[in-house]
Structure 1
Amino acid sequence: MSSHSSPKDRFLAMAGSKSVLSAWLASPDPFTQEAFLKADYDFVVLDMQHGLLDRADVRDAITRCYAFGKGAFVRVPVSGFGNASWVLDMGAQGVIMPMIESAEDARVFVKHMKYPPLGLRSYAPIRAAPLAKGGDVDAYVETANSETFAFAMIETRTALDALDEIAAIDGIDGLFVGPADLSIALSDDSRVDIDGERLKDAMRRVAEAAERHGKVAAAYAGDAAHASAYWCRGYDYVGISMDLKIVAEAAELLAKEAKG
């Protein structure tokens, strides 16, 4: 895929699907990770923001993803711009950055995500080049800007007001909606309302802005029904549920069914 193609086209080519689905991993347990890596997800997200993963966990999980032939994206903590560069050096194929609210936030994010001339990412792909390019550092650096993906999370009223400015920044590859946080921000009483009309309208605006700028429209979905709804609304990529939640629900369901 040419580096001159749109971020959306490059992302869909990387994922090999027009309705992209990722697992969402918060547990550092390798056996839990392997269960999701064996399942039919296009890639996995490692959650440093709300999950239990530290740097060593992320480093090892990324290596595990390559062993299973799956891409690894990482959601870093709020304002974790330095972590964005580091997880790329460890071999991550993308970063999801929470609470991007302005074009300036987006520029700072890009600065840490992309090599010059787009950004100022420091030159040290110590794990990325061996994992992604068989140790060819020059090949990795030459293609990294187009083969790694920067997703700006849209979670506030301020971000909604700056949608086009954020989406227009060269180096931002996608807009990622956090429905729970965005619904709280749009509410009058700080309640989560992921099926409310305000959120639906906001998500429509995000998808339209992404389409205008050739970027990926992405969102988190708590279940399969919401994932399907988001795809129907023009979203390209959905991250679904969370490993800890899935395991807990499955354990409870099995016990209930067994006891009748």
Structure 2
Amino acid sequence: MAPHRALTAAWDADRPAIGGWITTGSEMLIEAYGAAGYDYVGIDCQHSTFDERDAAQVLRRLPACPFAMFVRVSKNDPALIGRVVDAGAEGVIVPMVDTAQEAAAAVAAIRFPPEGQRSFGPGRADMGTTTDAIESRVSLFVMIETTDGLANVEEICAVPGLTGVYVGPGDLSVSLGLAPMDGFSTDQIEGPLATIRAAATAHDVVLGIHSAGGADAARWARLGCRLISLGSDMALFRAATVADRNTALDVQAGGTPAPATPYAAR
């Protein structure tokens, strides 16, 4: 299994791969992320209103993209993983992986026999006709987001076939007895992150993480993360609409409007 060329191009340039995050299923917003220069876009089937079947339909309707298309599946289930990779997902993120055995099960869902148990049935015409070709186009990240996962991270990172581990700061914070946003807004999970980074480095797997936005992502990059998802489509829309409303009310009250356009400059 090999990372998408957009990811390797970022790493070759000595910078983290930067991703967008889709919770609405909007193909227009996926294209907008790509036009903005993102390296990958993740479709979230765990915390959104749609599932792997919906994600598969979105993947099939999208033309070939210069960025990588990831899917976070709702759980570590071979049928769900198989559905999205057959539809063309170039990366899969599997949540709540606490043991090496669970990580190995995720790998087995991606790989064909004898190394795995994936059923052969490519759902797109451009995926190739050999098992090696089809396997090689998919990256696999398993999520470390509990104290059990943290305790077992060395063994998890040692599982053959993983591209990387992906930290969920919110759930990891909760598992550590902290408030969910503490992982994004404080340094309280930097110690656990260092443990995860050491294991990832020792086993030559990529360290990925979810961030709350650009400034937060810059901090994770300084701490060694090489794949970083920024704010979701809904988070960005919410922030923009609140800011636009506040600007309008400020202008009405006599303030000075900031230059604004509904279209993002390239």
Same fold per TM (> 0.5)? yes
For the pair 1:131 / 2:141, whether they are aligned, the reply is no
Quick one: which amino acid aligns to residue 116 of structure 1? P
Q: Which residue is 2:10 aligned to?
A: 17
Runs of 4+ in 1 over 4 A off after TM superposition: none
Quick one: which amino acid aligns to residue 29 of structure 2? T
Deviation at 1:190, TM superposition (A): 5.2
State the TM-score, normalized to the length of structure 1.
0.87
Aligned residues: percent identity? 27
Deviation at 1:169, TM superposition (A): 0.5
2:113 paired residue among 116, 130, 141:
116
SS of the counterpart of 1:11?
coil
State the TM-score, normalized to the length of structure 2.
0.85
Count matched residues.
Answer: 244
Deviation at 1:149, TM superposition (A): 1.1
For the pair 1:184 / 2:181, whether they are aligned, the reply is no
Asked if structure 2 preserves the Cα contact closer than 8 Å seen for 1:65 and 1:72, the reply is no
Deviation at 1:86, TM superposition (A): 1.1
Superposition map of 1:20-31 within 5 A: 20-31=17-28
Asked if structure 2 preserves the Cα contact closer than 8 Å seen for 1:177 and 1:218, the reply is yes
Asked if structure 1 preserves the Cα contact closer than 8 Å seen for 2:53 and 2:83, the reply is no
Deviation at 1:43, TM superposition (A): 1.2
Superposition map of 1:78-89 within 5 A: 78-89=75-86
Gaps of at least 5 residues in structure 1 are: 4-9
Superposition map of 1:83-102 within 5 A: 83-102=80-99
Aligned Cα root-mean-square deviation (Å): 1.9
Cα distance in 2, alignment partners of residues 228 and 51 from structure 1: 26
Quick one: which amino acid aligns to residue 70 of structure 2? F
Asked if structure 2 preserves the Cα contact closer than 8 Å seen for 1:76 and 1:83, the reply is yes
Cα distance in 1, alignment partners of residues 234 and 126 from structure 2: 28
Q: Which residue is 1:193 aligned to?
A: 182
Cα distance in 2, alignment partners of residues 122 and 68 from structure 1: 25
Deviation at 1:115, TM superposition (A): 1.6
2:58 paired residue among 57, 61, 79:
61
For the pair 1:231 / 2:221, whether they are aligned, the reply is yes
For the pair 1:242 / 2:242, whether they are aligned, the reply is no
Alpha carbons of structure 1 residues 147 and 23: separation in structure 2 relative to 1, 3 Å = same
Gaps of at least 5 residues in structure 2 are: 251-266
